[in-house]
Amino acid sequence: MQANSYQDGTLATAVYTGAGTGNDEELVYLGLGLTSEAGEVAGKIKKLIRDGTWDAGGLAYEIGDCLWYCARLADAIGYSLEDIMEINYNKLMKRKTNNTIQGSGDER
């Protein structure tokens, strides 16, 4: 599946107030949802520390939920998911070239 096709399809399962509008309410909902799902990813990984085991399939499901929120957020701000991927890739490659992958700050 292509990233933009996935993003386009997420609107069909977006059942919250303001879905597809890009308004503040949608941004807040999506930001909170992404945070919640990222917490579920962290919880799955935490079990590795606690129990010494983890569920790769369960983790994949939670990563997928994070991806859904990322796709909807990108759409809400007028970007395609592939645009976001390219922007991030270029940022990371610039940091690698500049030997600033490690460190702090957005502008490095």
Instruction: Convert the pLDDT of each residue in 11-53 to its tens digit.
Output: 999 999 999 999 999 999 999 999 999 999 999 999 999 999 9
CATH architecture designation of domain 3-79:
Orthogonal Bundle (1.10)
How large is the average pLDDT for residues 55-79?
A: 97
pLDDT of residue 57 exceeding 70: yes
CA–CA separation, 71 and 65 (whole Å)? 10
Burial pattern 24-58, b for ≥16 Cβ within 10 A else e, equals: eebbebbeebbeebeebbeebeeeeeeeeeeeeee
Half-sphere exposure of 71 (CA within 13 A, CB side): 19
pLDDT of residue 71 exceeding 90: yes
pLDDT of residue 108 exceeding 70: no
pLDDT of residue 66 exceeding 70: yes
Q: What is the pTM of this model?
A: 0.90
pLDDT of residue 89 exceeding 80: yes
